[in-house]
C-alpha cells in the first residue's frame, strides 16, 4: 500500500491507509492508546483500540520512535474533535503496526518553541532541534521564498549562473577563508566573500541579467545577524542606472510581501541619504516602522554614501562598500583634488526593520578610474596587477555599463519569520564562536593530509 502523509488524511476519511512517521506524543488510557504521529507534512492522531490486536506493542511505544501503521481513517466522535489542527476531525484506527526504529529519549525537549533551551545543546543535536514545528516552518518558508525569487527573476529574463566557491580572494572588508592547494604547494585559494568579481566578469561576457542564490564566506565573528557563511540573492544587470536596480528590487519585494501576506510600512520605499540617516537615526541601519507589529516590513533605501572611509588604524582610505563602486559623476572631479572624503558614491543599501538586508552599487567600468581608486586605497601598481589585473584586462575588451545588488537572505528571512536571530532560519548554523558542534568542526587534520598539502603546524592548540 502506498504511504499517506498526515496532511492528506482529511481527503481519505473512510479509507484504509498506511501512515508512517515519528511518535510525537502518546496518551495511554488503558484500553485505548492514542499517539500523535508526526511526519514532514503535519500530525495525525492514531488510536489503538479493539481493531488492534498487539496491545502490548502500542504500550511499549515512546516519543520519537519511528513507526508504520495501517488502519482506517474515521471521523472522530464529536466531543473528541479538535478544531485547532487540520486533522483534528479524524483519526487513524490502527490495525497493524511495524516499529521501524526505536529512539533514546531526546536530550532536548522537542515539543515547545525551544527558545529557552541551552543553545549549545540545540546545536549539538541540531537534527533533533530541527524536528520542532517552528524550525520546520522556517525551513518551509525559506524554501518557498527561494522558489518565489527564482521564478520572479526568471520571468524577468534573469539567468541563474553558478560561480566558483574555490577561488581567489575578493576584498569585501572581511578576512578570507583560505584553502591550501595540494597541486601547487604554498599557494592558496580563497572562498569568495561574495561573487562580486565573477558577476562583473559575467557582464563582460554578455550575460546582461544575472542572479544567483549563493553562499558567501567571511571570516568574521558571528552574531545574531551574522554568520561566517551566509546566503545572498546576488544580482547584476548591464545597461542600467541606479534607478533600474532600485526599481527591480523594490517591485520584487513588494511582490514577495503581497504573495506571502506582509504589510509594507511605506511604499514606495523612502530614500534617505547616508548623511540624513546618521543625523536622524544615529546609524545607517534604522527602523522606520511606527509600531513594531507582526508581519509589517519597514523597507528604506540609504543612498549617497561616501565613496571612501578613513581607516585610522591602517592610516589609509578604504572603500565604504567595495572598490568596484562608481563615484557619483558630480563628485568625480574631487578625486583629482585629493578631497577623497567628500566624494559621494553610487552605492545603495536596503534596510528593513532595523537591519541592513542588502547593498549594491553601480560599478566602475573605466580601467583608468578603477586603477586610480585602488591607488587611493594604498595599493601599489604591482599589487593591483596581481590582485585585480584580470578585471582591468577584461574591461579593455568591451565592458557594458553595469550595476547590481546583493540581498542578505538569512537576514531577510529571519525578519519574515519573526525570528530574533538568523540562526533560526539556517538549517545548520555555526555557534557564536564559529563552531559546528554537531559535526565537531573545526577539527584537526591527519599528519598525512597536512604533509600532502605541505603544511606544518607551528603551534599546537
Q: Which residues bind ligand AMO (CB under 6 A)?
A: 172, 194, 196, 218, 220, 226-227, 230, 232, 356-361, 404-406, 408, 410-411
| Alpha carbon 234 to its chain's center | 12
Cα–Cα distance between 315 and 255 in angstroms, integer? Answer: 45
Is the Cβ of residue 190 or residue 406 nearer to ligand AMO in the bound state? 406
**H helices of 377-454, where?**
381-394, 409-416, 447-453
CB of 395 to ligand AMO, least distance (A): 17
Q: Which residue in the shown chain puts its C-beta closest to ligand AMO?
A: 408
CB of 39 to ligand AMO, least distance (A): 32
CB of 147 to ligand AMO, least distance (A): 20
Cα–Cα distance between 145 and 253 in angstroms, integer? Answer: 11
Burial 83-97 (b: 16+ CB within 10 A, else e): eeeebbbbbbbbeeb
CB of 226 to ligand AMO, least distance (A): 4
Q: Which residues pair with 230 in a beta bridge?
A: 216
- Judge residue 116's burial from the number of C-beta atoms within 10 Å of its C-beta, 0-12 exposed, 13-18 middle, 19 or more buried: exposed
Is the Cβ of residue 42 or residue 358 nearer to ligand AMO in the bound state? 358
CB of 217 to ligand AMO, least distance (A): 9
CB of 361 to ligand AMO, least distance (A): 5
Is the Cβ of residue 67 or residue 300 nearer to ligand AMO in the bound state? 300
- Judge residue 330's burial from the number of C-beta atoms within 10 Å of its C-beta, 0-12 exposed, 13-18 middle, 19 or more buried: exposed
Cα–Cα distance between 259 and 255 in angstroms, integer? Answer: 6
Is the Cβ of residue 128 or residue 237 nearer to ligand AMO in the bound state? 237
Asked if 203 and 362 touch (Cβ cutoff 8 Å), the reply is no
Is the Cβ of residue 230 or residue 388 nearer to ligand AMO in the bound state? 230
Is the Cβ of residue 226 or residue 387 nearer to ligand AMO in the bound state? 226
Amino acid at each position: 500500500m502506498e504511504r499517506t502523509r498526515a496532511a492528506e488524511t482529511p481527503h481519505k476519511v473512510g479509507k484504509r491507509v498506511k501512515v508512517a512517521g515519528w511518535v510525537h506524543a502518546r496518551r495511554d488510557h488503558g484500553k485505548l492508546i492514542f499517539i500523535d504521529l508526526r511526519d514532514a507534512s503535519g500530525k495525525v492522531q492514531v488510536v489503538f483500540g479493539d481493531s488492534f490486536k498487539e496491545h502490548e506493542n502500542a504500550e511499549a511505544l515512546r516519543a520519537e520512535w519511528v513507526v508504520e501503521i495501517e488502519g482506517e481513517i474515521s471521523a472522530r466522535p464529536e466531543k473528541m474533535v479538535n478544531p485547532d489542527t487540520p486533522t483534528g476531525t479524524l483519526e487513524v484506527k490502527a490495525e497493524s503496526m511495524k516499529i521501524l526504529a526505536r529512539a533514546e529519549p531526546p536530550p532536548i525537549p522537542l515539543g515547545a518553541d525551544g527558545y529557552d533551551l541551552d543553545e549549545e545543546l540545540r546545536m549539538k543535536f541540531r537534527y533533533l532541534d530541527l524536528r520542532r514545528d517552528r524550525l520546520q516552518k522556517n525551513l518551509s518558508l525559506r524554501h518557498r521564498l527561494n522558489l518565489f525569487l527564482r521564478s520572479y527573476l526568471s520571468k524577468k529574463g534573469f539567468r541563474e549562473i553558478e560561480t566558483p566557491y574555490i577561488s581567489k580572494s575578493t576584498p569585501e572588508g572581511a578576512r578570507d577563508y583560505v584553502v591550501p592547494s595540494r597541486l601547487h604547494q604554498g599557494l592558496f585559494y580563497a572562498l569568495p566573500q561574495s561573487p562580486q568579481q565573477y558577476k562583473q566578469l559575467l557582464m563582460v561576457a554578455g550575460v546582461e541579467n544575472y542572479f544567483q542564490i549563493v553562499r558567501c564566506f567571511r571570516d568574521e565573528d558571528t552574531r545574531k545577524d551574522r554568520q561566517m557563511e551566509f546566503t545572498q540573492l546576488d544580482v547584476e544587470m548591464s545597461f542600467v542606472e541606479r534607478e533600474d536596480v532600485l526599481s527591480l528590487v523594490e517591485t520584487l519585494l513588494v511582490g514577495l510581501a503581497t504573495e506571502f501576506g506582509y504589510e509594507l510600512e511605506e511604499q514606495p520605499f523612502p530614500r534617505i541619504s547616508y548623511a540624513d540617516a546618521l543625523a536622524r537615526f544615529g546609524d545607517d541601519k534604522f527602523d522606520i516602522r511606527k509600531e513594531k507589529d507582526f508581519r509589517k516590513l519597514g523597507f528604506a533605501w540609504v543612498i549617497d554614501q561616501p565613496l571612501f572611509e578613513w581607516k585610522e588604524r591602517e592610516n589609509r582610505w578604504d572603500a565604504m562598500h567595495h572598490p568596484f563602486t562608481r563615484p557619483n559623476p558630480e563628485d568625480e572631479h574631487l578625486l583629482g583634488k585629493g578631497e577623497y572624503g567628500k566624494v559621494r558614491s553610487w552605492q545603495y543599501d536596503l534596510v528593513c526593520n532595523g537591519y541592513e538586508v542588502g547593498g549594491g552599487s553601480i560599478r566602475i567600468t573605466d580601467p583608468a578610474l578603477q586603477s586610480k581608486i585602488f591607488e587611493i586605497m594604498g595599493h601599489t601598481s604591482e599589487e593591483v596587477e596581481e590582485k585585480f589585473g584580470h578585471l582591468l584586462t577584461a574591461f579593455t575588451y568591451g565592458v557594458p555599463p553595469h550595476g547590481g545588488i546583493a540581498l542578505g537572505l538569512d537576514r531577510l528571512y529571519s525578519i519574515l519569520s519573526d525570528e530574533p536571530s538568523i540562526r533560526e532560519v539556517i538549517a545548520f548554523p555555526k555557534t557564536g564562536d564559529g563552531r559546528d558542534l554537531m559535526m565537531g568542526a573545526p577539527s584537526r587534520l591527519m599528519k598525512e593530509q597536512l604533509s600532502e598539502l605541505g603544511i606544518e603546524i607551528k603551534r599546537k592548540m
